[in-house]
Chains A and B, each alone.
Chain A
Amino acid sequence: DAKTTQPPSMDCAEGRAANLPCNHSTISGNEYVYWYRQIHSQGPQYIIHGLKNNETNEMASLIITEDRKSSTLILPHATLRDTAVYYCIVGLAGGTSYGKLTFGQGTILTVHP
């Protein structure tokens, strides 16, 4: 599985867009980019995933660069409830082989009033 690099922490003002970067320079052509988040003490929650094209759902947008070596998760209007650890995970169709998700340290996003 390709390794990912994320900043350890970021801040965002409530109501503004939160842009969380992720580097995955060793990603292979058939690996997906997944984003999960973990709100304090809870189980991780799926946000979005993509392969090549940009993706959008009700929670967020995922922008993947053309060379696929990096991506950005965008929360368009961050709220206090978006304060969480955000994990960028790269793996073969399904997290990784057998569906295993390899979690790194993630980015602690703090949304402040």
Chain B
Amino acid sequence: NAGVTQTPKFRVLKTGQSMTLLCAQDMNHEYMYWYRQDPGMGLRLIHYSVGEGTTAKGEVPDGYNVSRLKKQNFLLGLESAAPSQTSVYFCATSRKGGKETQYFGPGTRLLVL
């Protein structure tokens, strides 16, 4: 089992460009999350999903959109990238909410010039 995978691993964008980050999981987990981590900081939740077809905002949702069309995939979109979105993006999954361990992907490094 691959667990949680993220595509791409690294990307450079110019300001105003768009892109989609893909998170895929093979653990049949209901909950999925997108976090961002800036240098020297802890992770901050962008958006999350409690099941296929559902999404909700986290603490820093502005400038991002998400979709969960299939249970195993959670997409994070940047419609018009800004330098402030330069960060490392982590996807996580959990079997459900409540006291469930979250499993994290390896991260996507994004540089916006």
State the A residues within 8 Å of B (CB).
32, 41-46, 49, 87, 93-95, 97-106
Contacts and interface: CB of A to CB of B under 8 A. Distances in A.
B107 to A, nearest CB: 6
A44 B43 contact: yes
B43 A49 contact: no
**Main SS class of interface, A:** loop
A100 B45 contact: yes
Contacts, number: 68
A46 B42 contact: no
A43 B90 contact: yes
Contacts of A101: 43, 45, 92, 102
A104 B43 CA distance: 8
Contacts of B28: none
Given A46-B103, A49-B99, A105-B42, 15 more contacts: A41-B107, A42-B106, A43-B92, A43-B107, A46-B102, A87-B42, A93-B98, A94-B97, A94-B99, A99-B48, A101-B43, A101-B45, A103-B35, A103-B43, A104-B42
Nearest to B91: A43
Contacts of A106: 42
Given A43-B90, A43-B105, A99-B33, A94 B100 contact: yes
